[in-house]
Structure formats: C-alpha cells, structure tokens
Amino acid sequence: MNIQLSEHFTLKKLMRFTMPSIIMMIFTSVYGVVDGFFVSNIVGKTPFAAVNFIMPFLMILGAVGFMFGTGGSALISKTMGEGKQEKAKQLFSLFVYTTIICGIIIGAFGIVFIRKIASLLGASGEMLENCVTYGRIILIALPFYMLQYEFQSYFSAAEKPQLGLGVTIVSGVANMILDALFMAVFKWGLVGAAAATAISQMIGGTIPLIYFGRPNSSLLKLTRTSFDGRALLKACTNGSSELMSNISMSVVSMLYNVQLMKYAGENGVAAYGVLMYVNMIFLAAFIGLSVGTAPIIGYNYGASNHSELKGLLKKGVFVIGVFALCMFVLAEFLAEPLARIFVGYDRELLNLTKRGFTIFSFSFLFAGFSIFGSSFFTALNNGLISALISFLRTLVFQIAAVMIFPVFLGIDGIWLSIVAAEIMSVIITAIFIVKLRKKYHYL
C-alpha cells in the first residue's frame, strides 16, 4: 500500500517512505563507482585520472536537472498540499519540458567547448585527449542525465518512490553490464566506459518519460501546460541550493585537482578520485533521505501542519545522526580494502589513497546535517537560505580551507580541509534553523 503525503509520519513510516530514495541514490553512486573500477583496472591510471579530472565539469552541466527536480518538487508538493492537483500537474509538465530544452542546448555547448575547458583546467597530452573523448560521448546523453536526476525527486512527490528505485536499478544494472561488455570483452577502453554510462542515462531518463506521459496511478502526469515564468523562477530559486551545491562541489573538485597536481602529481588526482567515488556512495544516503523527506515537508508546509513539521525535523536529524556515526566507523575500517579495489596495483598510490581516506572519513560525522538542513529549507520554499547553506558548505569554506591548510600540512592538509569545511557548515546550518524557528514553527 502506498504511503500518502498527507499521513502522519512515525519514524518507521518515514523510513519506509524514504528508503527507496536512499537506496536509489546509493545505487546511482555505486554504478558510477563501477565505471571508475573498470577504467582504473582495465584501461589504466591516466584514463582513470582523466575521467576524474573532467567529471566535475560534466556534473556542473547536469546540475540543472537536479535544480528543477528538487526546486520543482518543493513547489509541486506545496501546491498539492494546498489542494490544487491540476495546477501541480501543469507545473510538473512545465519543469520537465524546460529541462529537456535546457539539456539539448547545454549539451551542445559542452561538446563544442570541452577541449578548451579541459585545457584551461590544466589537462594536456594524453590526459587531455582522454578528457575530450570521454566528455563528448557523455554529453550526447546530457538531456537524459538531467531528466534522470530530476525524476528522482518527482517520483517521491508523486507518492511512487519505489518506482524511482526500480528505474535506477534498471539503468544501473545496464551500466554495469555494458561496462563489463564494452571494456572487458570488446576492449573499447575509455570509449566503452563513456558509451556504457551514456546508454544507462538514456534508459534512466526515458522510462520515467514514458510512465508519466501515459495514464498512471501516481499523483503526477505529463499534460498540456503553458509558460509560467514566475513558477520557473520559483523552482530555480528553490532548487538553487542543489544547483549551487553541485556546481560548487564541481568547482572545488577542480581546485582540489589543481592543488593535488601541485603537491602529489597525477597520483594525487587519482587518489582523490577514489575518495570521491566512496564519498558519493556515503553522502548518497544523506541525499536520499533529504530527497525522500522533502515532498512530505513541502506538503505539510502547504497544508500549514506545523506539528507534523516539528516531528519531521526531529526524526530527520535523528536518522542523520545514526547514519553519520555508522558511516564514519565503516569508512575507518574499510579505508585499506576500498583503496585496494581501485589502486591495489600501485603501492605508492595505494598508500597515498589509504592515508587520505583515514583523514577524510571524519567529514562523514558532519556532512549529513548540512545536507538535510539545506534540503529542509528548499522544501519550505526558502531557496535563499538553502542556497546560502550550500554555498558556504561546498564553496566558501572548502576553498578557504584547501588554499590554507596545505601550506602548513602539505598533502594531509588537503584531506583535512574537507573535514574543517563540514564542521563550519554544521554550525551555520544550526544557526539558521534556530533563527527561523518562529517563522516556520518547526521547533
């Protein structure tokens, strides 16, 4: 039986509703990691470093889909909470159609300029050619990649999170199978890795389009709509934190790569790539909980159900705390085994990665609270505060830390800078939650 947004959410019911989103995000991250595993172990260290080098730029371009997904979902959920079901469907359709158009335009831009951008970022020689090859193939599927991100949020708003999980599993399994086929069997190298990812993204974006384009049992359906500039602006404002978070993380990743090239060379970039793969999986649990909870928060905000908002905030913070502790302990125990999976063939690189992991894992104790806090304000349709939390967490604090810490601590300072940035962001998030408690009545 489907759980409805209008129900009272106990901790057990909240976990049942959000678990598909949590698993969906984790699985999405896992099949991204499989790409890295195959590239590193079959194609080689330089192509692996190239993929990690250009990936932040590709993620910036795809972040628009996440913005329309989270920001649009908040507005749609609030509209449904106000009892305007048809209006919610029209808004949903407007956001999806806009994402498709943006995806085509941005993808074309990326294909044309990717060589120049990779070169400006510092790639040269074989690494530059690998960046261009991988990037151009991925960008062909950019509209589908953006839709895949977007629908992850809309499935929860449609009260069908389990369908979102199903789509993610199908596209993820396809990616893993094609990775093995294209790289291990056909020996297509980096082209095979990019093709496998692009095809899986096409699958992940097309299946939801078909589902929502036909009569279905969810709360949402693609319909005729009209241009609504105010709604688009509101969705962009609501989702600006997620857009900012993705862009900032990508920009910071580029800066980290520059610093790592300076302090540790190509090995540093490869080690950072391993850490980011594992980081994606661990943070995916926090993001999945936030994405799954956001439509419930938005609905109850639209219905002015303050008591439910209070309960959702308390339960969300409790679950984040449990996740954070478990992830930290797990990361400390798995530092060496995980490093061996990716770079066990190179002793120097293995030691560098393992050392970075043991320091970096402390960030898991703090990251989830800011992620949930930012998403909480997005769901309340306060895009400004949400964006500010994300902006400080993923850009300001990290840039300051990664520029200062390595001067005194060398390569260890780069890993430690991430931990310091997460601690500062938790403090800022707590200040905003306390400061705005009377406005939204969640405490």
Say what the pLDDT of residue 96 is: 95
Give every CB contact of residue 318 below 8 A, 6+ residues apart in sequence: 11
Say what the pLDDT of residue 121 is: 76
Distances (CA, A) of 420 to 269, 327, 359, 371, 429: 20, 18, 11, 16, 15
Say what the pLDDT of residue 259 is: 78
Report the pLDDT averaged over residues 142-160. Answer: 89
**Token code pair at residue 408:** 């005194």
3-state SS, one letter per residue, for the chain: CCCCCCCCCCHHHHHHHHHHHHHHHHHHHHHHHHHHHHHHHHHCHHHHHHHHHHHHHHHHHHHHHHHHHHHHHHHHHHHHHCCCHHHHHHHHHHHHHHHHHHHHHHHHHHHHHHHHHHHHHCCCHHHHHHHHHHHHHHHHCHHHHHHHHHHHHHHHHCCCHHHHHHHHHHHHHHHHHHHHHHHHHCCCCHHHHHHHHHHHHHHHHHHHHHHHHCCCCCCCCCCCCCCCHHHHHHHHHHCHHHHHHHHHHHHHHHHHHHHHHHHCHHHHHHHHHHHHHHHHHHHHHHHHHHHHHHHHHHHHHHCCCHHHHHHHHHHHHHHHHHHHHHHHHHHHHHHHHHHHHHHCCCHHHHHHHHHHHHHHHHHHHCHHHHHHHHHHHHHCCCHHHHHHHHHHHHHHHHHHHHHHHHHHHCHHHHHHHHHHHHHHHHHHHHHHHHHCHHHHCCC
Indicate whether 88 pLDDT > 60.
Answer: yes
Indicate whether 306 pLDDT > 70.
Answer: yes
What single letter denotes the amino acid at residue 197?
Answer: T
Distance CA 331, CA 382 (A): 34
pLDDT (tens digit per residue) in 248-289: 777 777 777 777 777 777 677 777 777 777 787 888 899 889
Say what the pLDDT of residue 53 is: 79
Indicate whether 1 pLDDT > 60.
Answer: no
Say what the pLDDT of residue 282 is: 83
pLDDT (tens digit per residue) in 213-259: 999 999 899 999 999 999 998 888 877 766 777 777 777 777 777 77
Say what the pLDDT of residue 208 is: 95
Across the chain, mean pLDDT equals 87
Say what the pLDDT of residue 32 is: 67
Q: How far is CA 208 from the centre of its chain?
A: 19
Length of the chain, in residues: 443
Residue pair 51/190 in contact (Cβ under 8 Å)? The answer is yes
**Percentage of the chain surpassing pLDDT 70?**
97
Say what the pLDDT of residue 216 is: 92
Say what the pLDDT of residue 344 is: 67
159 torsion bin: left (phi>0), alpha (psi -120 to 50), beta (else): left
Q: Using 50, 70 and 90 to split pLDDT, how confident is the model at 209?
A: very high
pTM of the full predicted structure? 0.76
Indicate whether 129 pLDDT > 90.
Answer: yes
Say what the pLDDT of residue 60 is: 79
Cβ-in-10-Å burial (0-12, 13-18, 19+) of 308 comes to buried
pLDDT (tens digit per residue) in 332-356: 888 778 777 766 676 777 788 888 8
Q: What is the dihedral of CA 124, 126, 130, 132, to 10 degrees?
A: 40
Report the pLDDT averaged over residues 114-141. Answer: 90
pLDDT (tens digit per residue) in 393-415: 878 898 888 888 888 888 888 88
pLDDT (tens digit per residue) in 17-28: 899 888 888 877
Distance CA 282, CA 328 (A): 9
Indicate whether 54 pLDDT > 60.
Answer: yes
Residue predicted with more confidence, 135 or 266:
135
pLDDT (tens digit per residue) in 411-427: 888 888 889 999 999 99
